[in-house]
Amino acid sequence: MLQSTNISTKNSFNSIKTFYLLLAIAGSITPWFWLLQDTTALLSPALFLQRAFENNVAADITSDLLISAIAFLGFAWVELKRLGTSRLWAIVYIGLTLGIGLSCALPCFLYHREQMIEGNILR
């Protein structure tokens, strides 16, 4: 049988929110650091896709990220509805996913989600 724990909800929200915020910052810097090493791929979508699927390892990582991004956007859409938040936020997460990457969009979403949950609990 499951037992409840007496962990302070407010403290756990603050620490996890900080963790998500740090991941969002790292996730916004890291992809662009690597992309800016070779700007020719940024200027040509065809070249970008060619390099993304250049070998089996790159194709594996690219496919994994594409499927994960699609799953994340579906989850975000449903979760925004469940939490009663405007689905216009979905546009923000789509923009972050396409413009920076899943490594930024997912932690940003989780941070925002924790803020929404914390706001609902404290009311």
Instruction: Determine how many CB atoms are found less than 10 A away from the CB of residue 41.
Output: 16
Bigger pLDDT: 31 vs 119: 31
* Residue ranges of domains in the chain: 11-122
DSSP class of residue 87 equals: T
By the 8 A CB rule, do 80 and 111 touch? no
Give residues with Cβ within 8 angstroms of 31, minimum separation 6: 100, 101, 103, 104
Residues in the chain: 123
Tokens of 50: 């060619």
Tokens of 62: 């690219």
What is the three-class DSSP state of 1? coil
Bigger pLDDT: 118 vs 12: 118
pLDDT tens digits for range 83-107 = 999 989 999 999 999 999 999 999 9
Instruction: Please give the average per-residue pLDDT across 20-49, as a whole number.
Output: 93
Average pLDDT, the chain: 89
Bigger pLDDT: 14 vs 34: 34
| pLDDT in the model for residue 11 | 55
